[in-house]
Amino acid sequence: MLNKLTNLTKTNNKESKKDIQLDLSRIPRHIAIIMDGNGRWAKKRGLPRVAGHREGMKVVRKVVKRANELGVKALTMYAFSTENWKRPKPEVEFIMKLPEQFLLTYLPELIEENVQVRIMGEKKGVPSYTLKAVHEAVERTKHNDGLILNFALNYGSRYEITQAVRQLASEIEEGKIKSEEVDEKLIGSYMMSSEVGDPELLIRTSGEIRLSNFMLWQLAYTELWFTDVYWPDFTASDLDQAILDYQNRGRRFGGV
């Protein structure tokens, strides 16, 4: 089934009309996004870095809306990494207030749109007001069955894998599982994202071409899509373009 969508897409810095035809029967089930470039977006405008994060928060809302319209089942958004604590304290505090602000502003709409809010990451170190806001949203959306909006907050992939290995080792020690029972499926079930599964598509904005400790286990067969666009400038059309490019790639999973 081909659905013709007409969107405004940026071409050579000029807004021009471009037809994006997406095959709605092949929409990626799970999309993971590294939202990068907030600081540079702000700097370019002579604004403080946090202005970029504030703008980035609004883009999260727009992307959730578009993903939901297209039938995406899960979106995992990298909101704060275990390495982001190295940033200046006021910036960290600002980012930690964003989930609360985001949910205060948009939770009623998200509930209306049948979205389920989730969180993955290490809780230790995250301020209690941040956790409270997210947990309340998780609770209030737990009976929904639409798109899963999964915030990676204080998340680091190596930390996640280390926790999984530790948990497995202790269960082997306790005799609950045998070492020969350890396979990829079992390891995957110990990952924080086990509920949403592996992403089919990863998007990273801002021109950086690296994974920055994000979902290293889960991205083994994921299609990677990079754009120079800074996250606060990312639009629904950019999401469509990423999905179109994904649909034009041949996924062979190591086969022929």
Q: Quick check: is 12 catalytic?
A: no
CA torsion angle for 62, 146, 155, 137 (degrees, to 10)?
Answer: 90
Task: Kindly tell me which of 190 and 232 has the beta carbon lying closer to ligand FPP.
Answer: 232
**Smallest distance from the beta carbon of 189 to ligand FPP, in angstroms?**
26
Task: Kindly tell me which of 84 and 237 has the beta carbon lying closer to ligand FPP.
Answer: 84
Of the residues 36, 233, 238, 240, only one is catalytic, namely 36
Task: Kindly tell me which of 134 and 164 has the beta carbon lying closer to ligand FPP.
Answer: 134
The C-alpha atoms of residue 151 and residue 77 are separated, in whole angstroms, by 5
Sheet hosting strand 223-226, strand order edge to edge? 116-120, 148-155, 74-81, 30-34, 201-204, 223-226
Cβ 35 vs Cβ 56: under 8 Å: yes
Q: Which residue is closest to ligand FPP by CB? A: 39
Specify the DSSP class assigned to residue 86: G
**Contact window for ligand FPP (CB under 6 A) among 21-29, 38-46, 114-122, 245-253:** 38-46
Specify the DSSP class assigned to residue 233: G
Residue from 32, 98, 119, 168 in contact with ligand FPP (CB under 6 A): 98
The C-alpha atoms of residue 35 and residue 52 are separated, in whole angstroms, by 11
Query: Quick check: 50 binds ligand FPP (CB under 6 A)?
Result: no
Strand partners, 7: 18
Reported as half-sphere exposure (CB side, CA atoms, 13 A), residue 61 has a value of 19
Q: Quick check: is 84 catalytic?
A: yes
Residues 16-35 that bind ligand FPP (CB under 6 A): 35
**How many degrees, rounded to 5, is the angle at CA 51 between CA 123 and CA 77?**
40
Query: Quick check: 121 binds ligand FPP (CB under 6 A)?
Result: no
**Smallest distance from the beta carbon of 94 to ligand FPP, in angstroms?**
9
Q: Which residue ranges make up the site for ligand FPP (CB under 6 A)?
A: 35-40, 53, 56-57, 60, 79, 84, 95, 98-99, 102, 151, 206, 231
